[in-house]
């Protein structure tokens, strides 16, 4: 059964946003991101990963753009990528090709922490991954 394992929040203040969630909810920092597409901090409760992201360009931020702030996307870890991708298509969800292309996602062999982006029924971004994200299988 697919499980929610990843929630991403877009912000222009990754450190401040991460500090809030760590201090209020006790989430632990499990990784930092410092790339050309995004900078940020990955937090976790040991089961669900929360990515606090400061997007660096509009291509990877998607339709809302790099300056938009708020919940950005939800990630599902799935057992059978082909089945889920088929079900997404049957339910009129299309891959977000521009974002996938900008991230080189879903365009070759699948490796750890690589997801493919799809559009949800309200325009939200949905990640599907067969391998999950850092901090989604405990802290050890």
At 3, which helix (H) or strand (E)? strand 3-10
Query: 34 CB contacts (<8 Å, ≥6 apart)?
Result: none
pLDDT digits 0-9 by tens, 54-63: 999 999 888 7
Q: Over range 71-78, report the average pLDDT.
A: 88
Confidence at residue 41, expressed as pLDDT on a 0 to 100 scale: 97
Confidence at residue 122, expressed as pLDDT on a 0 to 100 scale: 67
Q: Does 111 score more than 80 pLDDT?
A: no
- The pLDDT mean for the chain works out to 86
Confidence at residue 97, expressed as pLDDT on a 0 to 100 scale: 86
Higher pLDDT, 76 or 30: 30
Give the tokens for residue 67. Answer: 């300056």
pTM for this prediction: 0.74
Going from the N-terminus, what domains does the chain have, and what CATH number goes with each?
A: 3-129 (3.10.180.10)
Q: Over range 45-56, report the average pLDDT.
A: 94
* Lookup result for tokens 């991403």: 8
Confidence at residue 137, expressed as pLDDT on a 0 to 100 scale: 84
Ranges 32-36, 94-98, 105-109: which has the least confidence: 105-109
Distance CA 119, CA 111 (A): 22
Q: Does 53 score more than 90 pLDDT?
A: yes
């Amino acid at each position: 059964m697919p499980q929610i394992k990843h929630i991403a929040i877009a912000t222009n203040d990754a450190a401040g946003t991460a500090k809030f969630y760590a201090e209020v909810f006790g989430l632990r920092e499990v990784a930092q991101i410092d790339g050309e597409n995004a900078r940020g901090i990955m937090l976790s409760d040991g089961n669900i990963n929360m990515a606090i992201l400061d997007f660096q360009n509009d291509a990877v931020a998607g339709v809302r753009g790099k300056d938009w702030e708020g919940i950005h996307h939800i990630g599902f870890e799935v057992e059978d990528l082909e089945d889920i991708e088929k079900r997404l298509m049957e339910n009129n969800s299309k891959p977000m090709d521009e974002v996938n292309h900008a991230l080189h996602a879903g365009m070759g062999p699948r490796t750890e922490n690589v997801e493919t982006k799809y559009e949800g029924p309200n325009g939200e971004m949905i990640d599907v991954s067969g391998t999950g994200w850092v901090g989604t299988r405990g802290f050890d």
